[in-house]
Amino acid sequence: MGRFTGKSIIVTGAGSGIGRASATLFAAEGGSVVAADKTEAVHDTVEAILKAGGTAKAIQMDAGDEGDVERTVALAVSEHGGLDIIYANAGISGGITGILDTPVELWTEVLRVNLIGPFLAIKHGAPEIIKRGKGAIVCTASVAGIRSGAGGPAYSASKAGVINLVTTAAQQLTGTNVRVNAICPGLIETGMTARVFEYARANDKMDKVGRLNPLKRAGVPEEIARVALFLASDDASYVNGQAWAVDGGLSSSHPVTRQEFGKPAV
């Protein structure tokens, strides 16, 4: 018996990276997973889960589109009898352009996916979880949402919003036994950060990757997934309204090389 036997679970952004690792681990511990992603790669995630003996359904959807979120919740309810857990993980980076150079259209899109997406997951998922008597919602924020120095301005602002969203949602859901928490990953090797790692490997600079955190390395998706599973499980039954940094210690100081206005980054 795994921690999630008999549990119905949605994971967004499950086509790769943290989402794929999380969907795989939820299923390995007995969960019935709806793996959701905008890309066709989500079908590969589900195929791997099924081959391993797990239970999963794939759905291609846009995490920032209300109709798509409603369809995803409805699929979990119809296929797995209800909903116990949502991991609202889907997100986009928005690049690293400066705050004065970022088009408003890019800001709008980053906020739509990264912040409105988790809001929609809570809005449409929480009522179904409440019907089960208890459950959990986990959202992916970022260390970039804690303070400056770990991401572009649009991305950082969106993730700061996620941190506030989970604290507010936890309060709004008082008395429902639905817990809402966030994870704040540091530098993790995923599709979103692929260019960083590709450059480092091509230029023999992997020793520089993650050097600003005390562990002096980047993380891997499974290290975030394991924390997501903990927060979603009954093991974390008294953890609510929190944002957990999983970053090798980076956010204990957020050391950065300061960039002066109007000058290129060094």
Q: At 175, is the secondary structure helix, strand, or coil?
A: coil
Token digits for 174?
């008082």
Token digits for 213?
């955190």
Q: At 178, is the secondary structure helix, strand, or coil?
A: strand
Q: Of 34, 81, 23, 29, give the one whose Cα is nearest residue 57.
A: 34
Count Cα atoms within 13 angstroms, Cβ side, for 35.
32
In the chain, DSSP assigns E strands to: 8-12, 32-37, 55-60, 85-88, 135-140, 178-185, 243-246
DSSP 188: B
Residues 5, 12 contacting (CB under 8 angstroms): no
Contacts of 215 (CB under 8 A, 6+ apart): 248, 249
Token digits for 108?
């709008």
Query: Choosing from 87, 155, 199, 238, which is the catalytic residue?
Result: 155
Please tell me the distance from the alpha carbon of residue 23 to that of residue 27, in angstroms, as a whole number: 6
Q: Is 238 a catalytic residue?
A: no
Token digits for 116?
């409105």
Residues that are catalytic: 155
